[in-house]
Amino acid sequence: MSVFWSSLAGGFLGTLALSTMLAAASELGFTRMDLPFLLGTSVTDNRRRAKVYGYLFHFGLGLSFGILYGICFAAIGRSGWWRGALVGALHALFVSTVLVNAILPVIHRRIGTPETAAHEIALLEAPGFLMLNYGPNTFLVTLVAHVAYGAIVGWAVRV
């Protein structure tokens, strides 16, 4: 099996695991983060459609990152679950700090910011540093889910 196909399979399985872990954590009250809703509201303000679009967008990102992980593993000539877990941890750290604080509020027009005026209505609260505005366990949930994602992709990729 080529690196591309194994990366794609790993990305699918990893995204399935990551999405399940995040949804379970949200439903069990460990976090208030609803990733499909967060992603889906970037394209619609319809709350029902936002989740559908969000899941589709998240699976697309998961497949894309699986391929990106595979390219990185091919470049170094090694793969494995623990290398994937390490890359997943770095990915979670990047998402929880740079992406949600610097990039997401700029490109997502429905997230509230400190500059949001009183007459403007934001659908979403800004995640904040380490996404702590969504609960004190949100970063830990995100870290564990991304480590699992990376481990699955690293295990699936055959270099």
pLDDT at position 122: 61
The SS3 call for residue 124 is strand
pTM of the model: 0.90
Sign for the CA dihedral angle at 16, 63, 91, 3 comes to positive
114 band by pLDDT with thresholds 50, 70 and 90: low
Q: Write out pLDDT tens, residues 55-66.
A: 999 999 999 999
pLDDT at position 141: 97
Residue 150 and residue 91 in contact, taking contact as beta carbons nearer than 8 Å: yes
Assess whether pLDDT exceeds 80 at residue 115.
no
From CA 93, how far away is CA 119, in angstroms rounded?
34
